[in-house]
Structure 1
């Protein structure tokens, strides 16, 4: 590493630390425990998880959890990108050390998508149609309400349609990745079953 690179990296790290310190200072002054917005985020985080506990088909817990974790990860990636690039901001947060909304990305959105995914796959409904409707609701109903109450703020060229496109990408990626792993699991079980059948046909192995 050259001296110039080391100096540039040191400068970026210092600015990052200063930015983190400023966010903590801002949070303590405007977004901490004495604000209703903080408790709104707490409720937004806890309530969907409680609903999921009672509404989830626990016989499919691994499949639904894997799908929901995909939704959570992709929401976090996209939200972090938008926040760090200054496209949007959450003026109030539950935790000051993350750029995105923990309640939205780790609870409300994943749980909402999990329940729709569970219902569509159980009743043989069109997953893409119903998750698209959910995405429309999140983008053009929920987010404007957040903006109205200063819980979400656009800073640059991004708008509600861009959020909707983001949610569309997330719902496709999460479904496709889950389907791939389900196919791999099914394929492995079928191959394992065929091997077991061949062994049984050959009879017991004499020692």
Structure 2
């Protein structure tokens, strides 16, 4: 197969996959299914909690941390899904990526609130992030698997998701600290 034929074949398979995902959603994940309502709750409840719990005096910093977590987790989740290590069986809508409610909302929001708590109360984020990663990696993912929301493939298991959660939270912390360092030193340099 030459380059153009390969490209056409890839596009054809993507189109077929899109049709199958759409058919799956309409058959098993639509508004009449419990999966739709679970996904909707996973989307809305964390955002409501965030609205009331967010420290508005540090909103930009905390949101930067959350956005960083979101971007990293979306990319990790896309990779795991594309390589068929992890499959979010039911999505909120057929036009949203698989796992949108988890990797775009639940994980980032809970991690944001953890970051905010640790920094406001002088707690060790590294320790609490391990606890958070365990709750999400073993607790939430176990429950999701039992409810049929996710399936793990190719020897992927909850321990790996636990380690990924730790890595994502630590990297998000380090990038936020870098952001704050640059922000702080830019203000000092500008005042001289």
**TM-score normalized by structure 1?**
0.89
Match of 1:153, SS?
strand
* Rg larger in structure: 1
Displacement over 4 Å in runs of 4+? none
**Deviation of 1:100 (Å):** 2.9
1:16 equivalenced with 2:14 (yes/no): yes
Aligned to 2:175: 177
Deviations 1:10-53 (A, max 9, x none): 11111111111110011111111110110110011001000000
Contact 2:30 2:36 in 1 (8 A): yes
Write the distance in 1 (CA, Å) between the matches of 2:42 and 2:50.
Answer: 13
Match of 1:79 among 73, 77, 80: 77
Number of residue pairs the alignment of both structures matches: 192
Q: CA RMSD in A?
A: 1.2
Q: Which runs of 5+ in 1 are unaligned?
A: 195-207
Q: Which runs of 5+ in 2 are unaligned?
A: none
Within 5 A, what are the aligned runs for 1:1-207? Answer: 4-194=2-192
Contact 1:20 1:97 in 2 (8 A): no
Deviations 1:55-108 (A, max 9, x none): 000111110111000111111111111111111211211022344312111111
**TM-score normalized by structure 2?**
0.96
Contact 2:35 2:149 in 1 (8 A): yes
